[in-house]
Structure formats: C-alpha cells, structure tokens
Amino acid sequence: MIDKNDKPKNADALIAELHEFRDEVITKYPKKVAKKRAKSIVLSDGDKPPQIQANVRTIPGIITQRGCTYAGCKGVVLGPTRDIINITHGPIGCGFYSWLTRRNQTKPVNENDPNFIPYCFSTDMQDSNIVFGGEEKLKQAIREAYELFHPKTIAIFSTCPVGLIGDDVHRVARHMKEEIGDGINIFGFSCEGYRGVSQSAGHHIANNGLFKNLIGRDDEVRGQLKYRVNLLGEYNIGGDAFELERVFEKCGINLLASFSGNSTIQKFENAHTADLNMVMCHRSINYVAEMMEKAFGIPWIKVQPIGANSTAKMLRKIAQYFGDKELIDTVEAVIAEEMIEVNKVLEQARKRTAGKVTMLFVGGSRAHHYQDLFEELGMTTVAAGYEFGHRDDYEGRSVIPTISIDADSRNIEEITVTQDETRYRPRKTEEELKALEAEGMEFNEYHGIMQQMEKGALVIDDLSHYEMDQLIEKYKPDIFCAGIKEKFCVQKMGIPLKQLHNYDVGGPYAGFQGAVNFYKDIEMMVGATIWKEIKAPWESEDYVEASFAY
C-alpha cells in the first residue's frame, strides 16, 4: 500500500534545502541561545542517526510548547484511570487546567461502577496554607473525599509550592491510610512542576508510583489463560483504546490492562499476570515495561498501532510471539476483514492527499507514530520533533548507555527493581527468545523517530514558536501537526493544523477504524475550500497604478 512513487514531486527538492534551515534560524537568537538551539536541530539520517540534544532545560522566554512535571504525572499517566481519586495538592490552577482537558475517555462496565473522571479534586491552597503548611488541609481533603465517594484508591499530586514549603505528601498518605483503614490505598507523588525540564519527569515519577503502589497487588489469574497482554502507554484519547480493545477481542487476545486509557486500579494491580507487554508510547511508560520485565519476567516489545498497516504489524507480532497457529490464523482473518473498509476509504482519500507534505511536532511519541498514517496517505514528513522526547526516542534505545543525566534531571527518583522472589517467571526461555529474534522479533527495542524519516529531513527538539513560524514561512507544508497553542497561529498563516494531542475532538485514530477516521479527516483538511478564500477578491485583483497627467 505504501508506494514510494507517491512521494511529492517537490519533496526531494524541499528536503535538499532543509539543511539551510538551522544555520538561518539560529542567527536570530542571542549568541548563547543560538549555540544551544543549534544542538537540538539536526538532519535526519536513519542509517546513522546524528546525535541530538534533547531533554535539556528550556530556554527562558523562547516560547516553548512544553508543560511541566505535574502535567506529565497527574495529567497524562494517572489522570485516565476512572476509579482513583486524584487530589491535586496546590492552589486551584493546576487542578482546574488539568480538569477534562485531555480527552482520555473511559467507560465503566456497569452503571454503578465508580467514575471520577468528570471531577476535579483540589486542596485549593490559600496564602495561609503557604505560610503555615498545607498538610492538615490535605488530610482533611482526603477524609472528605473518602466520606463522600468511598474510593478504593486516592493519589496526591504535588504542585510547585508544595516542595518549597516542605509539605510531605508521602507522610500524609501513610498517615491517612492508617487513619481510614478499610484497605484503602493512598499514595503521593512529588511531581512539583519545577522538577526536571518538561512533562517527561512527571512520567518517570508516575511510573515509579505505579510500580511501587499498584502493580502486583493482585495475583489472581482471571479470564482466559492464553494470549494475555498489556498495552503500555495508550491513554484512550478520543477512544483509541476502545478501538484497540475491539481489535484485540476480535482476535481473541486477552488485554489485561491499558496503561492507562480506560483503566481501573484493579487492572494495574493485576497486570503482572500478563505474558507480554506492548509499549505504545515509549517515552511515558518504558520505565514500567523495564521494571515489570525485571521483577516478573514479562518481555516487552514496541508496537505502533497507528496506521492500518502498523496495526496489522502489531497483531502479527503478538501472534508470532505466542507462536500459536490458531491465533496466527485468526489474526490474518481479522486483518483481511478490517482492511476491506480501510482500503476503500484510503483509495478515496489518497486522491487528495497523495504527494503532499507534512510536519509533526507533538509530545513524546505521536510525532513518530503518525508518520505511518501519513505514509499510508502518500504524504511525506519533512520535519518532525518532540516537545520532551529523550535521545532514545530520536536515535533509538541503543544510545541509552551514552546519555548523561544533567543537573536539571538528576533529582528525579530512580528506583531499583529486583527480581520478585516468588513471582518472577520468565515467559519465554532464552532459546525461545533467541529463536523469535532470529525471525526478526525485537525485544526491549525502539529505534526512534529518525530511522523512519527521509534522509535529510529536519528533526527539531523542543520547537520554539519562532522556529515553527520560520518552518511554515519557508516551506509551506500542506498540513502541520501540533497542539492547541500552535493551532490558530498556524491557521492564521493559511495552513491547516491537525491537533495530534486532542485530535481536534475527533478520533479514535488508533487501529483500523482509527486509520479510517484519520484518512477522512486529513482528506477533509488538506482539501477544504475555505483555505482558498483567505484573500478578499478586491485584495488579489490586479490593478494598474497610474496618475493623471495635467
């Protein structure tokens, strides 16, 4: 289906020009800033990825896309779980702004199942709490939350002032756990916004919390015994997880837990009874994957179910891993069936999309994943980057040993995980793993964004507003992908912007149905009539300037 002949006629010429971008764009910056930014802008080379500077502090005043650690921890990782009460310990802003603003949908099984997603819980710190400390108010908030809702689990999220005034959320959590009793689980996160340099630190802190406080608390093996998998780093934006759940069910694959789209606490607690972990968003959840392998012996593979072919590839990988003829046959049958509609819609969409050019600057994984979908649409990605990816997300995990942790990220907690004495069980023997690897399966591996991109395409980490402006001004892509803050800036320039955080309230975009939705949405956007109507007729008419001679 991907046909390299679709490559836009101007793509090669365009890519050949891109090397000028860095040299030109950095001249505008003050000297020190230019020096730093130059290291974060590289030309892609899939065979031999150049080193990129990533996961370093943001330059003050540069107008970054980035958010903070609290957003990465509460907003991203723990936010989507419906039966946990997430209390933001801080002034009201952090809680308010992360209230329903990410589209992590959830669907309780029964009407009376708890669902706290529509709520925002906060300690709403006032000046007196800053002066005298907020621990008492936090305790009171936990008591009230328990009395009103009787949740099984409560988590506390620290915001900027909490660390500064010395409130100890972990101590409060222990205290309240004892006070309430009733088997309640309460734990805290030190995810103050100033920690680390971006959302990424929050992911790491959240992963540690998941592992320490939830994973492995429930050993009961439920449901079917075959094909037990977890999907890590899938947050059910716009119903992505619903679509993947549908596909897995159709194939007879037993999805125990999504981390953390459409999830419940119990699913986390039970996740260690799976036989395979699949990592979708590498950046946000690779820590959990690593820890689960070490403690419980569950291997992990990278998957990318964004794009119809990529979804098929994921299913085939699972089938290959379990090596079961029945599963292999079902998977092939499902793929064949699903591809009928996919191909029909794709054929239609490609009439308008093939040969077009795109640029993607999104969080920590989608800037990569969505290139699959654009390839299917016959579009070329000429520039891409992450807000908060690390070097391994750009260059592949093989560079991890060479990454040095700088002063800004040094204080992010690293937890040491050891083999679980009773529950460690290698899911495959060394020989089995070797055999699978010989067939081309890769474990604990992610090759990064550059491997996929055209040689010479631009890769930019922590894109600034100015750099974005210049990219569009100079290269006029047919579609630009980023987030809400960028959307209307770019559209004012006459270029449609596809939001790949919230999908412009569309989706799902994962899986087969997701691909169908995406094809249609991009077809609509690149061809929309309104983009040709920007100039009023009297603005674009030629007129002759002349003066009367007297």
Partner 1 sequence: MYAALGLHGCLPHSHGSQGCCSYHRSALTRHFKEPVMAATSSFSEGSSVFGGSANLVTAIETIFTVYNPDVVAVHTTCLSETIGDDLTQIVSKAHEDGLVPEGKKVIYCNTPSYVGTHVTGYSNQVAAFVKFFSTATPKKKNVVNLVAGWMEPSDMREIKRLAQEMEARIILFPDMSGVLDAPLTGKFEMYPKGGTTQAQLIATGDSKFTIGLGAYTTEDACVKLENKCKVKFEVVEIPIGLKATDRFITSLSRHANVPVPDSITEERGRLVDLIADNSKYFYGKRVALFGDPDTLIPLTEFLLTLDMKPVYIVTGTPGKHFDESMQTLLSEKVPEAKYKSGPNADMFQLHQWIKQESVDLLIGNTYGKYIARDENIPFVRMGFPIVDRAGHNYFPNTGYVGATNLVIKILEKELDHLDRNCPDEKVEWQL
Side-chain half-sphere of 534: how many Cα atoms within 13 Å? 9
Question: Of 11, 54, 71, 510, which residue is the catalytic one?
Answer: 71
Q: Residue 35, interface with partner 1 (CB under 8 A)?
A: no
CA distance 206 to 185: 16
Which window, 91-99, 205-213, 280-288, 301-309, contacts partner 1 (CB under 8 A)? 91-99
The H or E element containing residue 176 is helix 169-180
In this complex, which beta carbon is closest to partner 1, that of residue 337 or of residue 406?
Answer: 406
Q: How far is the CB of 111 from partner 1 (least distance, A)?
A: 13
For residues 381 and 383, give the distance between their C-alpha atoms in angstroms, rounded to a whole number: 6
- The span of 41-49, 52-60, 180-188, 292-300 binding partner 1 (CB under 8 A) equals 52-60
Task: Tell me if 60 contacts partner 1 by CB under 8 A.
Answer: yes
Could you give phi then psi for residue 549, rounded to 5 degrees?
Answer: -100, 130
Listed in order, strand segments (DSSP E) in 226-306 are: 228-234, 254-260, 276-279, 300-302
Distance between CA atoms of residues 481 and 343, nearest Å: 24
> Could you say which of 40, 44, 55, 64 contacts partner 1 (CB under 8 A)?
64
Stretch that binds partner 1, among 41-49, 251-259, 477-485, 512-520 (CB under 8 A): 477-485
List 57, 102, 316, 447, catalytic entry: 102
Of the candidate residues 1, 33, 328, 417, the single one contacting partner 1 (CB under 8 A) = 33
- Confirm or reject binding of residue 528 to partner 1 (CB under 8 A): no
* φ and ψ of 70, to 5 deg: -55, -45
DSSP at 218: -
CA dist 134 and 313 (Å) reads 50
Q: Of these residues, 82, 89, 195, 203, which one is catalytic? A: 203
Give whichever of 116 and 248 is closer to partner 1, judged by the CB atom: 116
> Binding segment for partner 1 among 85-93, 230-238, 265-273, 432-440 (CB under 8 A)?
85-93
Residue 408 as a binder of partner 1 (CB under 8 A): the answer is yes
- Does the footprint of partner 1 cover residue 93 (CB under 8 A)? yes
Choosing from 11, 22, 37, 68, the catalytic residue is: 68
Q: What b/e readout covers 83-104, taking b as 16+ CB neighbours within 10 angstroms?
A: bbbbbbbbbbebbeebbeebbb
Q: How many residues bind partner 1 (CB under 8 A)?
A: 69
Binding partner 1 (rule: CB under 8 A), the pick from 10, 46, 115, 165 is: 165
Select 64 or 273, whichever has its Cβ closest to partner 1.
Answer: 64
Among the listed residues 49, 79, 80, 91, the single contact to partner 1 using CB under 8 A: 91
Count other C-beta atoms under 10 Å from residue 421's C-beta. Answer: 7
Structure tokens at 130: 């800053």
102 part of the active site: yes
Q: Provide the minimum distance between the beta carbon of 44 and partner 1 in the complex, in angstroms, as a whole number.
A: 25
From 1-9, 219-227, 342-350, 489-497, span contacting partner 1 (CB under 8 A): 489-497
Q: How far apart are CA 394 and CA 458, in angstroms?
A: 12
Q: Is residue 127 close enough to count as binding partner 1 by CB under 8 A?
A: yes
Contact track, partner 1, 434-473, x by CB under 8 A: ------------------------------xxx--x----
CB distance 357 to 380 below 8 Å: yes
DSSP string, 135-170: HHHHHHHHHHHHHHH--SEEEEEE-HHHHHHT--HH
CA-to-CA distance for 550 and 544, rounded, in angstroms?
19
Residue 350 designated active-site = no
x-or-dash pattern for partner 1, window 492-521, by CB under 8 A?
xxx---------------------------
Give strand ranges (E) for 479-534. Answer: 479-482, 497-499
Picking from 421, 458, 225, the residue whose alpha carbon sits closest to that of residue 324 is 225
Residues forming contacts to partner 1 in the complex (CB under 8 A) are 28-30, 33, 57-71, 90-94, 97-101, 118-119, 124-127, 129-130, 159-161, 163-165, 192-197, 407-408, 411, 464-466, 469, 483-485, 487-494, 534-535
* Active site members: 68, 71, 102, 203
